[in-house]
Structure 1
Amino acid sequence: MAGHQMPSESEYDGGGQIMKRSSITSIALMWLLFATCLGDTMGSTISVKDDLGRIVSLHKITKRIVSLAPSTTEILFAIGAGKLVVGADEWSDYPPEARQIPRVGPYMRPNIEKIAMLRPDLIVVASNVIPKNIVTDLEQRLRCPVFVTAPRTVATIFSGIERIGKLVGKAKRAQRLVAQLRKRINKVKQRIRGRKPVPVFVEVAPPPSLMGVGVGNFIDDAIRIAGGENVLKRLHSRSDFPLVSLERLMLLNPRIYVIAAHGSMGREQALSQVRKRIGFNQLSAVRNDRVYAVNADYLFRPGPRIVLGIIELARILHPDAFAQRK
């Protein structure tokens, strides 16, 4: 296995044959993890269906969790299971306490050996960032339950939070959290009720490879809830994040232009940045100073903070609705 050196010819077992340290280490780790997964059994089995339609069952109390996506790490902390997280992917940075969790590599290529050494009894994965074959490989090699969340709507984000809560013994906390999130969304809906959806483009990546949020995903659903009309629905593209030419963008001509910003970017900075781009001054949104920035983590991580993204978008799309009442 990668990361181990081959033994020298002087390293023999009792029968005089060369032993491969990497193989011994790997086998030992697998048996250690298997033994851990068999311990602490509980009286009844907890079973939930994940977003791949798989039944995930736990026969023991969850004490050690590895999270392989920033969104699932946020969910676990939000429902009071943060102390159970013993390993996380390298991008899990929220809440701030999550930065202290041991890393198990990038979410696209998690380090199996590191995960095994952490002896988890549950692994939580977001399949929109980890291919299915890796999910299958994780379960087969680590012999531990793997729960997969792959929401396509805001409602399925909430459903995933509740199912994870049930799986880790935090069902009531998860239900309370989801109830609070739904309440905040309902307040947004009340404010914008009866208003016509506003055509909007949400930028994922800037030119020269301009990319926007496509349709049929949870971000597109968040745009709809916030009172927006995703202009890329006119592209009839199946991609979640299609490439868009300037010519096509000019034809779509969104009234609002939103940059999904990584790091701190205010409205003035966003407007200044877009104005400097060749040809963008012809867009209605740019001519009318309707260019904004929204924290990308609010929009792109399918967790509790999606509600903050919806609220920000709604304020951008329908500012008068929020100015009417405090």
Structure 2
Amino acid sequence: MKFKMKWVTPIAAALLLAACGTDEDKNAKQNEQEQEKPEVAEGPYKVVDDRDEEITFDEVPESIISLQPSNTEILFSLGAGEKIIGATDYDTYPEEAKKIERVSDSMTINAERIIELNPDVVIAYTAGDPAQIEQLEAAGLKVFVIDSAASFDDVYGDIVQLSEVLQVEDTGEQVVKDIKAQIAAVQEKTEKLDQKKKVYFEISPAPDIWTAGGNTFQQEILTAAGVENVFEEQDGWFSAAEEDVITKDPEVILTSVYYTDDAVGEILARNGWDKMQAIINKNVYLVDADITSRPATRIGEAVELVAETVYPDLFK
């Protein structure tokens, strides 16, 4: 509170000082606030990345380059968004991420620019050319490598790792806790269902349609959302024959194809698909591709999105 004492009467000044508290009160409050702040390691600390490399940090990084959209989302969730000075062409969430300078297309990096920016740490990932990481390290940059997450547990592990890099472990634990709570809230609703709906999830359109089978990130989302993937017995992502989709006769079709003008309309109009339940009942829906494919802090949102789309009555 700022005020000029010479313009305040003695009585008014006394009231103002009482409202602000005594010096002892203020000191006690300040001590409490300092105790509430997360503890930051004094001096160098080490964090192991997914190469099993022990990366030493002399102090908490203040400038970061993120080379994968999922890691960018995690960094923002940990309160480090303002520290990111370089990102990829596909870093679109949160909105602030769109303003960060682009230094990679997610596969090929602009090593020259990254070296010029001289970040405290580069958060890289294992996909792509290992020589790019070696180039950055040869230039003296600190590179922390994270495997591309293939499961919810992998995502939770990534959050914990990055929280250790940033020395905000408590925040990381809370982010994980919140995600799990969101998923649990969805499952509490879907557990009441007598029968799970059969769903076909399309990730690439005709003529070469692709879908997600078992042991995929999308499969885990579908399972957590309480739906049955008609291609769960298949392994990984694969090109599905149209006749196989028709034979499976899904009750609901989800598509994450966002780069065509009318993905839903195209599916509804496909020759030979008109006898499927999903087509007859027009249960074909476009779902957000980033949310349903990006292994980051919005996995709880992905589970909720799928469940709400397939079982709208449960969420009214």
Please give the TM-score of this superposition, normalised by the length of structure 2: 0.79
Q: Which residue of 2 aligns with 1:166?
A: 164
Q: 1:191 to 1:136 in 2, by over 3 A?
A: farther
Contact 2:179–2:299 (CA<8 Å) still a contact in 1?
A: no
Q: Displaced runs of 4+ in structure 1, greater than 6 A?
A: none
1:260 aligns with 2:256: yes
Q: Secondary structure at the match of 2:145?
A: strand
Q: Could you tell me how far apart the structure 1 residues matched to 2:294 and 2:129 are?
A: 17
Cα distance per residue 1:58-97 (max 9 Å; x no partner): 3332111100111111111111001111111111122121
Q: 1:108 to 1:63 in 2, by over 3 A?
A: same
Q: Secondary structure at the match of 1:209?
A: coil
Q: 1:149 to 1:271 in 2, by over 3 A?
A: same
Out of 196, 218, 240, the residue aligned to residue 244 of structure 1 is 240
Q: Which residue of 2 aligns with 1:291?
A: 284
Q: Which residue of 1 aligns with 2:275?
A: 282
Q: Which residue of 2 aligns with 1:70?
A: 69
1:25-64 alignment to 2 at 5 Å? 43-50=43-50, 52-64=51-63
Q: Could you tell me how far apart the structure 1 residues matched to 2:145 and 2:255 are?
A: 32
1:198-237 alignment to 2 at 5 Å? 198-234=197-233, 236-237=234-235
Q: Secondary structure at the match of 1:207?
A: coil
Further displaced range: 193-202 or 110-119? 193-202
Pairwise CA RMSD: 2.4
Q: Which residue of 2 aligns with 1:123?
A: 122
Q: Could you tell me how far apart the structure 1 residues matched to 2:139 and 2:112 are?
A: 10
Instruction: Give 5+ residue unaligned stretches, structure 2.
Output: 1-40
1:80 aligns with 2:79: yes
Please state how far the C-alpha of 1:287 moved relative to its aligned partner. Answer: 1.6
- Percent sequence identity over matched residues? 25
1:320 aligns with 2:313: yes
Q: Which residue of 2 aligns with 1:187?
A: 185
Contact 1:112–1:138 (CA<8 Å) still a contact in 2?
A: yes
Please state how far the C-alpha of 1:252 moved relative to its aligned partner. Answer: 2.3
Q: Secondary structure at the match of 2:231?
A: helix
Contact 1:254–1:284 (CA<8 Å) still a contact in 2?
A: yes
Q: 1:54 to 1:194 in 2, by over 3 A?
A: farther
- The structure that has the greater radius of gyration is 2
Q: Secondary structure at the match of 1:91?
A: coil
Q: Could you tell me how far apart the structure 2 residues matched to 1:42 and 1:119 are?
A: 23
Q: Could you tell me how far apart the structure 1 residues matched to 2:151 and 2:78 are?
A: 20
Q: Could you tell me how far apart the structure 1 residues matched to 2:300 and 2:254 are?
A: 17
Please state how far the C-alpha of 1:270 moved relative to its aligned partner. Answer: 5.1
- Look up the equivalent residue of 2:293 and give its one-letter code: F
Q: Which residue of 2 aligns with 1:300?
A: 293
Contact 2:126–2:147 (CA<8 Å) still a contact in 1?
A: yes
Q: Which residue of 1 aligns with 2:150?
A: 152
Please give the TM-score of this superposition, normalised by the length of structure 1: 0.77
Q: Which residue of 1 aligns with 2:196?
A: 197
Q: Secondary structure at the match of 1:282?
A: coil
Contact 1:72–1:124 (CA<8 Å) still a contact in 2?
A: yes
Contact 1:66–1:120 (CA<8 Å) still a contact in 2?
A: yes
Q: Secondary structure at the match of 1:104?
A: strand
Please state how far the C-alpha of 1:282 moved relative to its aligned partner. Answer: 2.9
Contact 1:49–1:55 (CA<8 Å) still a contact in 2?
A: yes
